[in-house]
């Protein structure tokens, strides 16, 4: 049986505000969704060109708007 | 979508669509299995597995709290951005093939001794200048333009490099463009004068060296078959120092002959290099040095070993950067960038010595992919469309792949050469890419835990 947590009637699953995290440590406050509004300027470097010529990882590229974009 | 993995002794959960990373303890790692794709918790399943004790439920509660905060089980909302990419993309980066000629005969070179299966030739300043005019015109409102001097070996035609650079700077000023230059070299012809010009004018230099002398000399050979390590290594050390250990890369390739490539990375680090990239060779499986599927477990093990070595070195105060483990979890590129990938064929193009335009350096001299030339200055719309329309949602495995926002769909050239289809990524490369992303995240996690 699956049920959606938002509709649960079991108290134990009700979302409490400031829950104390004992089992999970969150590493970053990333939110890719936010970058939809503030990103897309296209001024950043093209990916294949930083160190390699045979593979492509975009996650390690620098954002030209660093610090100004909210993500 | 959530991807969980246990790497370098830390258990992590990556919330794929927000980019949030969580470090989990054993219980929460186990309880994550009882959530479906949407983040609904299967209480019966957990109970049947005997996992309904207080601690397990505490972990479940925490995971649910993260979902409520949009840090777990977030949805992929980026599909709609694809049309933005298609409309807005302009050519803003060029790879200039300054010389289709080389003074080395590296066994794995995709350019086959620099010639690209064509004839030996060098680019004239006129062709280079036309290429600059072309990119200024094509780049629309974009201010930053990249020019990558590539070969063969670009130092074999360095006067032309200088002439093009000066022309681009002057024209850039006139047209409000900021040119950024990179040069890739094997180092044989590097001398103090060239180094000085490069340091003054170029934002990046890529120095080709594979690692340990015996590894390097086995593949990176001169025309007479002798190794090239001794004649370049000290020059490269000098370049790195003269650039304050920034804005350069020593770049190596590993093959089936050195699956212990962590040793090569460490060799480069021991030489004092701080910006290091060592990459898997891409070659048809018929080549004896090509990586094969059965090598993957060994390669994964080596990536782990390398990550451990990097962590240990940093702990001992020796910092260096490994290109593929570099990841900014706090401020990574925006969603648009994550969708556009390498930009080959629509943001990026290669120009041959005679002025022909191809989607990227890997396609050069394949007549099917000739997109035009710098004299006419127009690109074939049909070829461009193939590239601009391909993205993580059109590529078969990418839409369901947890690494899609890190990798953004892999190398188009590999997909075409290995699987004859731009939308079918080369899966061996995928497996290695995913492993590297896991290691990169796990390194961040370990460093965060160590800081506590
Ligand atoms: S790793 Fe492979 S499947 Fe995943 S996004 Fe990259 S190319 Fe696509
Ligand atoms: S197609 Fe491959 S080789 Fe060409 S630019 Fe893209 S990632 Fe680089």
Residues A13-25: tens digit of each pLDDT: 444 456 889 999 9
Tokens in use for B22?
């969580």
- pLDDT of amino acid B337: 77
Question: Residue B330 and residue A42: Cβ atoms within 8 Å?
Answer: no
A23 Cα to chain B: minimum distance (Å): 5
Cα B383 from chain centroid? 23
User: What does chain A come to in residues?
Assistant: 71
The answer to whether B23 and B452 are in contact (CB under 8 A) is no
Which tokens sit at B436? Answer: 């590297």
- 8 Å CB contact of A60 and B326: yes
Residues 18-47 of A with CB under 8 A from B: 19, 21-33, 35-36, 38-40, 42-47
Atom 6 in ligand 1: residue holding the nearest Cα: B409
Report how far residue B68's alpha carbon sits from residue B79's, in angstroms, rounded to the nearest whole number: 23
**Are the Cβ atoms of B22 and A53 closer than 8 angstroms?**
no
Look at residue A10 and tell me whether its pLDDT is greater than 70. no
Question: Between B206, B280, B411, which is nearest A56 by CB?
Answer: B411
Distance of CA B322 to the CA centre of its chain: 11
What ranges in B177-248 are assigned the alpha helix state H?
A: 192-201, 213-219, 229-242
Which among A70, A26, A69, A11 has a CA at the least distance from the CA of A44?
A69
Chosen from B335, B345, B359, B405 to mutate, greatest number of chain A CBs within 10 A: B335
Are B69 and A5 in contact by the 8 Å Cβ rule? The answer is no
pTM of the shown model: 0.92
Q: How far is A57 from chain B (nearest CA, A)?
A: 5
Interface test with A, best of B52, B65, B358, B418 (most A CBs within 10 A): B65
Main-chain dihedrals φ then ψ at residue B226, nearest 5 degrees: -80, 155
> What's the token pair of residue B258?
């050195």
Would you say residue B358 has pLDDT above 80?
Answer: yes
Give me the mean pLDDT over the B374-380 stretch: 92
Mean of pLDDT values over A64-70? 51
Over range B173-195, report the average pLDDT.
97
pLDDT greater at residue A11 or residue B371 = B371
Would the CB atoms of B39 and A27 count as touching at under 8 Å? no
Question: Which is nearest to B431 in space by CA: B299, B304, B308?
Answer: B299
Cα–Cα distance, B133 to B242 (Å, whole number): 32
User: What's the mean pLDDT in B390-404?
Assistant: 93
| Mean pLDDT score, B379-386 | 94
Asked if B334 and A66 count as a contact pair (C-beta separation under 8 A), the reply is no
User: Hey, how many other C-beta atoms are within 10 angstroms of the C-beta on B233?
Assistant: 18
The CB of B395 under 6 Å from ligand 1? The reply is yes
Interatomic CA distance for residues B4 and B7, integer angstroms: 10
CB-based contacts of B393, cutoff 8 Å, min separation 6: B79, B82, B399
CB pairs under 8 A between A and B: 258
pLDDT at B95: 95
What is the least distance, in Å, from the CA of B330 to any CA of chain A? 6
Pocket test residue of B434, B437, B438 for ligand 1, highest count of atoms within 8 A of CB: B434
Alpha-carbon span B448 to B452, nearest angstrom = 7
Q: Which residue has the higher pLDDT, B342 or B59?
A: B59
Amino acid A67: pLDDT: 52
Cβ(B407) – ligand 1 distance below 6 Å: yes
Whether B329 sits inside 8 A of A26 (CB atoms) is: no
Coil vs helix vs strand at B452: coil
Listed in sequence order, the residues at least 6 apart from B406 whose beta carbon sits closer than 8 Å to its beta carbon are A57, A58, A59, B327, B338, B433, B437
State the Cα–Cα distance between residues B19 and B425, nearest whole angstrom: 22
pLDDT for B333: 77
- Tell me the best of A45, A47, A48, A58 to mutate to test the pocket of ligand 2, counting ligand atoms within 8 Å of each CB and taking the most: A48
B432 lines ligand 1 (CB under 6 A): no
Q: What does the block give as tokens for A47?
A: 């990916």
Atom of ligand 1 nearest to the CA of B398: 8
Give the model's confidence band at A64: pLDDT under 50 very low, under 70 low, under 90 confident, else very high. low
Residue found by looking up tokens 């060109």 in the block: A49
Q: Which of B122, B93, B125 is nearest to B203 (CA)?
A: B93
Which ranges of B156-285 does DSSP label H, i.e. alpha helix?
158-175, 192-201, 213-219, 229-242, 262-270
Looking at residue A11, its pLDDT comes to 40
pLDDT of B252 strictly over 80:
yes
Give, for ligand 1, the residue of B342, B410, B413, B428 to mutate: max count of ligand atoms closer than 8 Å to Cβ.
B410
List the beta bridge partners of residue B150: B97
**Which chain B residues are closer than 8 Å to A68 by Cβ?**
none
Q: Are B329 and B14 in contact (CB under 8 A)?
A: no
Q: Looking up tokens 């590296």, which residue turns up?
A: B106
Given this model, what pLDDT does residue B275 score? 94
């Amino acid at each position: 049986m699956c049920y959606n947590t938002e509709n649960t009637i079991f108290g134990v699953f009700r979302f409490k505000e400031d829950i104390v995290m004992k089992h999970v440590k969150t590493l970053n406050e990333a939110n890719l969704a936010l970058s939809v509004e503030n990103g897309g300027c296209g001024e950043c470097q093209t990916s294949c060109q930083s160190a390699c010529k045979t593979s492509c990882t975009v996650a390690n590229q620098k954002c030209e708007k660093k610090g100004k974009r909210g993500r | 979508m959530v991807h969980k993995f246990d790497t370098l002794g830390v258990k992590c959960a990556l919330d794929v669509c927000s980019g949030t990373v969580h470090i989990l303890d054993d219980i929460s790692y186990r309880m994550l299995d009882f959530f479906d794709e949407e983040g609904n918790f299967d209480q019966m399943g957990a109970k049947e597995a005997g996992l309904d004790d207080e601690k397990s439920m505490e972990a479940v509660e925490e995971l649910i709290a993260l979902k409520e905060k949009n840090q777990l089980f977030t949805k992929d909302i980026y599909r709609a951005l694809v049309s933005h990419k298609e409309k807005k993309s302009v050519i803003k980066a060029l790879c200039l093939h300054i010389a289709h000629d080389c003074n080395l005969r590296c066994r794995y070179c995709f350019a086959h001794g620099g010639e690209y299966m064509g004839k030996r030739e060098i680019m004239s300043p006129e062709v280079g200048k036309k290429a600059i005019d072309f990119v200024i015109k094509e780049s629309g409102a974009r201010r930053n333009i990249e020019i990558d001097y590539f070969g063969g070996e670009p130092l074999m035609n360095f006067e032309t490099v200088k002439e093009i650079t000066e022309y681009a700077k002057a024209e850039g000023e006139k047209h409000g463009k900021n040119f950024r230059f990179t040069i890739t070299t094997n180092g044989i012809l590097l001398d103090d004068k060239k180094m000085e010009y490069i340091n003054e004018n170029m934002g990046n230099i890529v120095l080709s060296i594979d690692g340990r002398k015996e590894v390097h000399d086995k593949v990176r050979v001169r025309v007479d078959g002798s190794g090239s390590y001794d004649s370049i290594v000290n020059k490269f050390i000098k370049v790195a120092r003269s650039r304050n250990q920034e804005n350069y890369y020593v770049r190596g390739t590993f093959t089936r002959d050195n699956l212990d490539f962590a040793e090569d990375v460490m060799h480069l680090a021991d030489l004092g290099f701080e910006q290091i990239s060592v990459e898997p060779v891409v070659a048809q499986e018929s080549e004896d040095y090509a990586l094969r599927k059965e090598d993957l477990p060994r390669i994964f093990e080596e990536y782990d070993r390398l990550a451990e070595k990097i962590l240990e070195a940093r702990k001992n105060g020796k910092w260096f950067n490994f290109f593929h483990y570099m990841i900014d979890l706090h401020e990574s590129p925006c969603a648009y960038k994550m969708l556009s990938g390498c930009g080959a064929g629509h943001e990026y193009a290669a120009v041959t010595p005679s002025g022909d335009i191809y989607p990227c350096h890997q396609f050069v001299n394949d007549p099917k992919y000739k997109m035009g030339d710098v004299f006419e200055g127009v690109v074939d719309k049909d070829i461009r469309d193939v590239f601009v329309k391909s993205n993580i949602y059109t590529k078969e495995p990418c839409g369901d792949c947890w690494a899609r926002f890190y990798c953004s769909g892999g190398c188009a050239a590999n997909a075409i050469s290995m699987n004859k289809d731009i939308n079918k990524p080369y899966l061996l490369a995928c497996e290695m890419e995913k492993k590297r992303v896991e290691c990169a995240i796990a390194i961040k996690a370990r460093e965060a835990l160590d800081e506590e």
